[in-house]
Amino acid sequence: MCKNNLYIECYSGISGDMMVASLLDLGADEKVLLNALESLNIGGFEIKIGRTKKCGIDACDFDVVLSEEYGYGHSHEHDHNHEHSNIHQNHDHNNDHKHEHHSHDHDYEQTHEHNDHLHTHVDQHRNIYDIYKIIDNSGITTRAKDIARKVFDVVAVAESKAHGLEINEVHFHEVGALDSIVDIVATAVCIDNLNIDNVYVSELYEGSGHTKCQHGNMPVPVPAVINIVSGHSMPIRITDLKGELVTPTGAAIAAALKTKNKLPEQFSIIKIGIGAGKKDFKKANILRTYLIEEKDEREPEPEHEHKHGVWVLETNIDDSTGEGLAYTMEKLFEKGANDVFFTPIFMKKNRPAQMLKVICEEKLINDMESIIFKHTTTIGIRKYKTGRTVLKREIKDIETIYGLVRFKMCTHDGNEYYYPEYEDVKAICDKTGLSYTEVYKNITSCTI
């Protein structure tokens, strides 16, 4: 019941098909994905899943091949020219797409056809609300629907800004929309299937120069990508590689999935997924995703019972907002504080206030003081050294009636004490609908 943490490494850019391929390689269920895409009931494409090599690295390949009336044989290209030609301000129906099938040296290939739902023309346009209906009427899970809608929201906002249109005026041309819908929904389904809780995203490596679109050449990064990375505070690095590495769909997926801004200082890698891009560069055109297990920086290393000193910093604050104090607490923990807490107090003239207390090691005192002075209105901090007894503790997985649960086991004078991890208890409550008290009682009885 540990949280599943995903790290997306975008050192060769990111696109929708690369993301799906890496998640499949990471272990997402292929049958679940194909059934989910079938439930969209939009037709006009088939899915090919195989293996290929990029600079000698074996990688999964995910390809959306459009059916005959959409230009059969067209598959993803990493620069996604069609992705930029799918936004129309004047509803230009000139669909002069020329596509070449990109072949791979596949070890195996699976084709999933959608011939039962083929459309009779390709000039259909969809706005964001039409796409919402497709997603909402599909057979995918509620969480996958929420993720897909969130990604499309990011795309729509970025494109509306790029083209000077209202959200509802942004129309996705049928060809571009098919690729976008499949990539985005497939990503959402895989994330849900892998039970991902937290997502870390590296800085986005992007190329330079220009890329072709229906209305001419666009500068790289393209406007929609620029809008996404600026609107979501995502770091980007422009490289000297000529061409587009980050597509709007890829950037939107990264922005919508990201829940953490910084990787933990220490973590272990559980599994790696590698998704192939559709172009060949001097560097491997791949997207790697990692399932990682982070070490809680607040959790001390397992240690024997001993006594040692720590420092306590405290200050009274009566004119900072609750939001500001909460942010200060986050920053103090991020910097390594052992504990941070607030105590309600009354100051002179009966003003309600908070006493902020920080427990930390001596080497962190300057860092703690800097954070407090920067993010609160205080002008003075008291500090003193105090003793502390620390018990030996370790995390153990214990089998319960609900499955494996993490417990913190502490020992003192030959006695053992077990405390279930809050997040595990919470997850059981969410899954079973039982009360926290009942779940806690049931699982702690396993340790008696």
Query: What's the sign of the alpha-carbon dihedral 131, 26, 235, 286?
Result: negative
Give per-residue pLDDT as tens, 267-292: 899 999 999 998 888 888 999 999 99
From residue 302, give the alpha-carbon distance in Å to each of 296, 297, 384. 12, 13, 26
- My answer on whether omega of the bond before 352 falls inside 30° of 0, hence cis, is no
Q: What is the pLDDT of residue 119?
A: 37
DSSP one-letter string for 35-69: HHHHTT---SEEEEEEEEEETTEEEEEEEEEE-GG
Joined together, the tokens standing for residue 311 give 């420092």
From residue 369, give the alpha-carbon distance in Å to each of 298, 331, 383. 19, 11, 10
Give per-residue pLDDT as tens, 38-50: 999 988 889 999 9
For the cut 50, the answer to whether the pLDDT of residue 254 exceeds it is yes
Q: In angstroms, rounded to a whole number, what is the distance separating the alpha carbons of residues 84 and 270?
A: 36
Q: Which residues pair with 87 in a beta bridge?
A: 172
pLDDT band per the 50, 70, 90 thresholds, residue 321: very high
For the cut 80, the answer to whether the pLDDT of residue 73 exceeds it is no
Q: Helices marked H in 95-221 — which ranges? A: 128-136, 142-163, 174-193
Nearby residues of 431 by Cβ (< 8 Å), 6 or more positions away: none
Nearest to 408 by CA among 392, 425, 391, 395: 395
DSSP one-letter string for 343-366: EEEEEGGGEEEEEEEEEE-GGGHH
Q: What is the pLDDT of residue 112?
A: 42
Choose between 244 and 88: higher pLDDT. 244
Q: In angstroms, rounded to a whole number, what is the distance separating the alpha carbons of residues 132 and 144?
A: 12
Which domains does the chain possess? Answer: 5-294 (no CATH), 306-390 (3.30.70.1380), 392-447 (no CATH)
Amino acid residing at 194: L
Give per-residue pLDDT as tens, 80-126: 444 554 444 333 333 333 333 333 333 334 444 433 333 334 445 67
Work out the angle between the directed axes of helices 142-163 and 248-257 (0-180°, nearest 10): 130
Question: What's the pTM value of the predicted model, to 2 decimals?
Answer: 0.59
Q: What is the pLDDT of residue 165?
A: 74
For 323-350, what is the mean pLDDT? 93
